[in-house]
Amino acid sequence: MRVIQNLYARTAVLLVLLRLSVAQYEHLGYPPGYPYPEQEEYTAPQLDPDTPRIQLRLAGQKRKHNEGRVEVFYNNQWGTVCDDDFNIHAAQVVCRELGYVEAVSWLPSSKYGKGEGPIWFDNVHCTGKEKTLAQCQSNGIGISDCKHSEDVGVVCSDKRIPGFKFLNTLPNHVENLDIHVEDVQIRAILSSYRKRIPVMEGYVEVKDGGKWKQICNKDWTQFNSRVICGMFGFPGERKYNPRVYKMFARRRKPTYWDYSVNCTGNEAHLSSCKLGQAVLEKSNGTCPRGLPVVVSCVPGKDFAPTLMTGFRKAFRQEQPLVRLRGGAIVGEGRVEVLKNGEWGTICDDKWNLLSATVVCRELGFGTAKEALSGGRLGQGMGPVHMNEVECSGFEKSITECSFNKEALGCSHEEDAAVRCNVPKMGFQERLRLSGGRNPYEGRVEVLVERNGSLVWGTVCSEGWRTMEAMVVCRQLGLGFASNAFQETWYWSGEVSADAVVMSGVRCSGTEMSLSHCLHHGAHLSCPKGGGRYAAGVSCSETAPDLVLNPQVVEQTTYMEDRPMFMLQCAYEENCLSSTSSEVPANTYRRLLRFSSQIHNNGQSDFRPKADKHSWVWHDCHRHYHSMEVFTIYDLFSLNGTKVAEGHKASFCLEDSECDEGIEKRYECANFGDQGITVGCWDTYRHDIDCQWVDITDLKPGDYIFQVMQSLSLTLSSPVSLRQTEYLIPPSVRAAAATDLTTLPTSLVKSKRTVKLSVCPVTERTCFYRPAG
């Protein structure tokens, strides 16, 4: 008996451990293609006759379409719900009544703004199983001692209840109700559009009660089309040829949804639009005007197909006044605006979906999926240019919106960011991670065409780097690359996919798909083969973002003539030009010296890859190097030719200074841990050895000065992608233009054009000054 009891106890412990091991990854969610737990099918609620008939909506200053202030329509009037005794069970009832799978959280004290009208429910007590909020216990409908400063809000999950069907319990008040359906799609009808990616034209269909239905075009407006196109990642809509769709509608009888749609045009999602009047079908099953709704959308420049290049790569040259920084995937990032020649950020006060949507459309994306606050996608640098931004939703640029020019009290901890709707390109269906311990890691497997059929296979790991891993993580929507693996024997993967189908992959780090990178094509070359030597990655939702402060470089740059006999240690570390080995010790070298200040504006700390036990001791300088090459300094001629270079090893990577309220974590003293904390920066002063470029052999003239953090070979932390604007004077920008518009954090660059007055080393009056 005791043996059986022990067996039961051990089994229970194992089950608990299994649940805990699964639960630790629940916050990560499920990537596209990864199986979700099965959800129960929706069943229409059966309400007692004495249950009050109400309708719900989410309103207020929303930052996602599936959150907001809980509002109740009852007795011909919208009202709110008091936060007294409200809890997650009540939020669960609200979200499920609106068609969402579950509630994520709830927020008291009018976090989405104060509502108007009566407070219909107070002291609400729910079990979470009720079919409507009206079934929960409360003081009674309309009985409350609350004020609107106590209005409650909820955040619902993104996922909708399968088979959800909108039930209108108030048929005489349709015009007051929001739209709640299971899903929406644009279905390509014409053969010329069916094979195009993304789908830009077709029927607008809503999924209601588990069935796809068309919308009657009675009362359909251009504003409705604008909202639909925005939801699917398109900044605008256009006219289409209705004749061919009339012919198609005659051949195939449409199944119409019961209602029409009424949008104002500035909504970020169809769920924020109002229901139109119920459609009265004729006896032959057609709507009054006889056609289903068709939309034709205009893609942004990054997704527009061209005859020569197909779809353009992500992160190409953006609008001149607005840009996104710090995002892991296309269409997300911290919002930065250009004012008086200086990039700055936007304070998140009053930041909402309306303003975020203006930014997204301005950059060639659709409406905003989410308006983020609190520096969620990293903290910027420079001034806070805009505060309390308020937009109507129809502005062409965020700079046209009204805002408070005073940013008193705003810091970069309040930097606003966006996540935009982008077109579905289908890239995620052609790539997968297999064999990993969680959805964010595994062997890389790609879907390719071989002999007329599609097959899964592996990627050759020869030359596989962080750059390629970044593209994989972005393509799968998994964030940043934390590691690139050249051996994956510990991840079994699919046996049928062991064969190598892609080799010689070389990415710049900016591509939207691994297939956009350079590779061998059908001419495979992989000596080690696939299997255990297949390429693998691990991805992360957060990453450090190392940003050079270019103003510090410019303000501290000067030239120094230094004798060779004082540069022995620097010579041993290859910090001088190659010609230094051919000159006697009593000669001088001319050095362009400067300070560099590297900020971590990301979402996680930066740490060197090497552990302490593997740090390299340099006897001449009497210190350890945690990273052999941390920074690379280059001078280019105006035609892009490198004419001089230097580098700096990391003998001390620490928090020199931090933003207010942030505590230093890394210090080199006493062989301490090295790194850069989020919100801190590491400063290499101009008077440190190797903090220079040897310009002894240069002639007088204008040059491009480039500082680059070279971390690609030693990066252990996840990598963030960011785009750097090179501050080159307009007079030389055209001559110096090189297509380096997009760089990973592992290659943070900043350029300056400098004029060097080079004179004989015997003269001591030479000086440096910026060009222009």
- Contact yes or no for 344/337 (Cβ under 8 A): yes
Is residue 573 one of the residues assigned to a domain? yes
Q: Which two tokens stand for residue 306?
A: 């061209």
Same domain, 364 and 439: no
643-664 pLDDT, tens digit per residue, is 988 877 666 788 999 988 889 9
Residue 80's pLDDT is what?
96
Q: What angle do CA 48, 54, 56 make, to 5 degrees?
A: 135
CA distances from 747 to 130, 682, 707, 750 (A): 55, 16, 9, 10
Largest CA distance in the chain: 103
**Could you tell me which of 353, 392, 398, 344 has the C-alpha nearest to residue 373?**
353
Phi-psi region of 75 (alpha: psi -120 to 50; beta: other; left: phi over 0): left
Q: What is the mean pLDDT of each run of 10 residues along the chain (772 residues)?
A: 54 51 44 49 74 91 93 93 96 94 94 94 94 93 94 94 83 74 91 83 92 89 95 93 84 85 92 80 57 92 61 49 89 92 91 95 95 90 91 93 82 92 90 92 92 90 92 92 90 86 90 91 87 91 84 87 88 84 86 90 84 77 71 84 81 85 86 88 88 88 76 34 28 26 32 41 36 37
- Contact yes or no for 150/86 (Cβ under 8 A): no
Residue 713's pLDDT is what?
31
Same domain, 673 and 587: yes
The boundaries of the domain holding residue 143 are: 55-156
- Identify any residues that bridge with 253 across adjacent strands, giving them in sequence order: none
- Contact yes or no for 593/557 (Cβ under 8 A): yes
- Contact yes or no for 723/343 (Cβ under 8 A): no
- The alpha-carbon radius of gyration of the chain (Å, integer) is 30
Same domain, 629 and 679: yes
Residue 583's pLDDT is what?
84
Same domain, 128 and 72: yes
Residue 729's pLDDT is what?
29
Is residue 174 one of the residues assigned to a domain? no
In single-letter form, the type of residue at position 439 comes to P
Same domain, 599 and 486: no
Domain C-terminal end among 490, 514, 540: 540
Same domain, 552 and 699: yes
377-407 pLDDT, tens digit per residue, is 888 888 999 999 999 999 999 999 999 877 6
Q: What is the torsional sign of CA 477, 513, 707, 581?
A: positive
Residue 38's pLDDT is what?
52
Residue 4's pLDDT is what?
53
Is residue 762 one of the residues assigned to a domain? no
Q: Which two tokens stand for residue 594?
A: 């400067």
Same domain, 329 and 415: yes
**Could you tell me which of 113, 84, 81 has the C-alpha nearest to residue 97?**
81
- Contact yes or no for 447/380 (Cβ under 8 A): no
- Contact yes or no for 54/132 (Cβ under 8 A): yes
Say which CATH number the domain at 433 has. Answer: 3.10.250.10
Count CB neighbours of 187 within 10 A. Answer: 16
Same domain, 723 and 618: yes
CA distances from 393 to 168, 267, 361, 390, 398 (A): 29, 8, 10, 9, 9
Same domain, 679 and 606: yes
Tell me the pairing of strands 342-346 and 384-390.
Answer: parallel
Model pTM score: 0.77
- Contact yes or no for 363/318 (Cβ under 8 A): yes
Same domain, 651 and 696: yes
Is residue 652 one of the residues assigned to a domain? yes
- Contact yes or no for 529/486 (Cβ under 8 A): no
Counting beta carbons within 10 angstroms of the beta carbon of residue 705, is it exposed (0 to 12), middle (13 to 18) or buried (19 or more)?
A: buried
Domain C-terminal end among 99, 121, 156: 156
Is residue 462 one of the residues assigned to a domain? yes
Residue 94's pLDDT is what?
96
Domain C-terminal end among 490, 505, 540: 540
Q: What is the DSSP string of 231-290?
A: HTT-SEEE---HHHHHHHHHHS---B-SEEEE--S--SSGGGSEEEEEP---TTS--TT-
Same domain, 520 and 579: no
Is residue 274 one of the residues assigned to a domain? yes
Residue 174's pLDDT is what?
63
**How many domains is the chain built from?**
5
- Output DSSP code: residue 366: -
Taking the C-alpha atoms of residue 654 and residue 666, their distance in angstroms, rounded to an integer, is 5
Is residue 528 one of the residues assigned to a domain? yes
Residue 297's pLDDT is what?
95
Is residue 356 one of the residues assigned to a domain? yes
Same domain, 621 and 698: yes
